[in-house]
Amino acid sequence: MQQTFISATILLILITDPLGNIPPVLGLLKNVAPARRAKIILRECGIALAVLLVFLLFGKQILGVLHLSEDTLRIAGGVILFLIAVNMIFPGAGARIVEPGQSGEPFIVPIAIPLISGPSAIVTAMLISGSDPSRMLEWVGAIFIAILTSAIVLLTANRLQKVLGPQVIMAFERLMGLVLAAISIDMLLGGLASYIQALTAAGGLPR
């Protein structure tokens, strides 16, 4: 899938899932003084931004060190995105990120990582970087807008939850999950097709 600035931005917003992060973030910050909540959210969003930028800018080198191909990353990314999408459509079907008994002021884990910049967002940043390295400034802008969206949503989380209500938020979450599921399948099929084509060209599969 050829990425554009708009498609990359939308994809990153879907993956960072700001609306879906409202309930766990509010739960994590319920015992934190209201005056501290905004600072914590901005700090965690800043950390998430830094993490994604590192993998965006140095993704190719990281893949080289790990001896992984971009096709392998696309296949793995498609699988991860699909699992995330299933969890968005059917809440509770995936792994639990936030433990019920977790208390205290969160730092890095679990808000910055993995709620905002989780494995799916990191893989996506690396894939976007590899799709066209000459447009790196656009990809940096896409990540910045996605994190800014998360920051705005989380800073207004209490108000949004009161105005929209949990049912509307859940409906948006499931709609985002459906879109993300389609994107994940496209990514998975694209990775498989490219991998099979490379094997065929190398004589690994019969023509």
Residue 205 has pLDDT above 60, yes or no: no
**Does residue 193 form part of some domain?**
yes
Phi and psi at 100, nearest 5°, equal -60, -35
pLDDT at 162: 87
Residue 117 has pLDDT above 60, yes or no: yes
Position of tokens 């914590």? Answer: 40
Residue 78, classified by CB atoms within 10 Å of its CB into exposed (0-12), middle (13-18) or buried (19+), is: buried
Q: Is the pTM of this model over 0.85?
A: no
Total domains present in the chain: 1
pLDDT at 103: 58
**Does residue 10 form part of some domain?**
yes
CA dist 80 and 88 (Å) reads: 12
**Does residue 107 form part of some domain?**
yes
Q: Dig out the tokens for 31 from the structure.
A: 């015992």
pLDDT digits (tens, 9 = 90+) for 35-87: 899 999 999 999 999 999 999 999 888 888 888 888 888 888 889 888 888 88
**Does residue 207 form part of some domain?**
no
Cβ neighbours of 105 (radius 10 Å): 12
pLDDT at 207: 47
157-201 vs 70-89: helix crossing angle, rounded to 10: 140
11 band by pLDDT with thresholds 50, 70 and 90: very high
111 band by pLDDT with thresholds 50, 70 and 90: very high
CA dist 9 and 188 (Å) reads: 19
**Does residue 206 form part of some domain?**
no
Question: If we measure between CA atoms, which residue out of 162, 193, 177 comes closest to residue 120?
Answer: 177
pLDDT digits (tens, 9 = 90+) for 84-110: 888 888 876 554 555 545 556 888 988
194 band by pLDDT with thresholds 50, 70 and 90: confident
Q: Which residue has the higher pLDDT, 103 or 165?
A: 165
Q: Which domain holds residue 166?
A: 5-201
**Does residue 17 form part of some domain?**
yes
pLDDT averaged over every residue in the chain:
87
